[in-house]
Amino acid sequence: MHVLGPIVVLTAAAISADTAPAAPASSNGEYVRSDGFMHERLTLVAPGAFTYEEVGCVGGPTRYRGTAGVAEDRVSIQGRHGVLERELTPVTWGQRHYLVPPAQMKRFCSYVSGKTMDEPIPFFLRTEDQSKPSPSTKERPSQCN
């Protein structure tokens, strides 16, 4: 696997079943996002605590910790979190899993339709999915219909 420069890390640690339901399996895993200057990594293992690390071309890493709520249709970040958006929407496109800020869903759907983006990885993509083939632009996530 090829990694693009420095990366950002977000880790959500498990919390007890008394306080939150288990994370949907489709949201679990490590995610990366990079605009070529700022690099991020996000790891969700279950709803609960998170650590977020960002590395830019002029410094870092910077780490943040807080809590994360994970539901089937949303990842909610609480506490200090740098440039990480407070809300992310899990999106499956073919075999690939993304976390997309709701305010950028229209832009993501343009990306799915074949629009070229300037950033190497413009949306959080699950790390293990980087090597999976890009789906056809005819295959669209339900959020883009």
CATH number, residue 89 = 2.40.128.50
In a domain, 20, yes or no: yes
In a domain, 85, yes or no: yes
Residue 141: pLDDT over 90:
yes
Name the pTM for this structure.
Answer: 0.77
Q: What is the DSSP string of the chain?
A: ----SS---EEEEE--TTTSPPPPGGG-EEEEEE-SSEEEEEEESSSEEEEEEEEETTEEEEEEEEEEEEETTEEEEEE--TT--SEEEEEEETTEEEEE-GGGHHHHHHHHTT---SSSEEEEEEGGGTTSPPPPTTS--GGG-
Count of structural domains, the chain: 1
Domain range enclosing 36: 10-144
- pLDDT reported for residue 126: 93
What pLDDT digit, counting tens, does each position of 41-60 carry? 887 766 576 777 889 888 77
What pLDDT digit, counting tens, does each position of 58-114 carry? 877 888 877 788 888 998 888 777 788 999 999 999 999 999 999 999 999 999 988
